[in-house]
Amino acid sequence: MNPSVKNRIARDDPDSMPTETVFVGIGGNIGDSVTIVEQTLVQLNNIRGCDLSGQSSLYRSEAVSDIPQDDYINAVVMIDTSLDPLALLLELEAIEHAYYRQRDPDLPNAPRTLDLDIILFGNRVISDSHLTIPHPRFATRLFVLEPMLEIADDRFIPGFGSLSFLIDQAPDIEMIKLDA
């Protein structure tokens, strides 16, 4: 069995499935982003086969884009899930769609109401036309790394290093932790 799979099979529930720990980045900068992110936290915990096991504080960070735009509200959550990666991706896209997320392939860093990205999915490495895990830019994004450190301790990520190492190497951006 994959060592990143948690064997959370209840002895009294033969239908329980093993779960994997997933980190999901949350961000948005159109509309009331704080409220949207807070509502998204509730929706993530309501996905069938998912258990929200950790959530970071909210952070306000400058946009990482050539397009002038407002600051983002960001957070990272840790989810234990029995879903496969593509099924989870579809659930996340449905939540984005509920907040009128628009995707323009010509403007990948455009402003958005809500962005949900699978950062890590256990120790899996996936690269296909639908999904890339680990997220291709997570290691250079302080708005992902700082909140992730808050809930994952100084996790070592195979092929990348520890979160504290990645934070030291990431380009600096203006970022503030919001009060709870």
Q: Give the residue numbers annotated as catalytic, written as ranges.
A: 101, 112, 115, 117
What is the distance between the alpha carbons of residues 67 and 30, in angstroms, rounded to a whole number?
A: 14
CA distance 54 to 13: 24
How close are the terminal C-alpha atoms of the chain, in Å?
Answer: 39
Q: What share of the chain is helix, strand, coil (3-state, %, to 5)?
A: 25, 25, 45
Beta pairing class for 126-127 and 115-121: unpaired
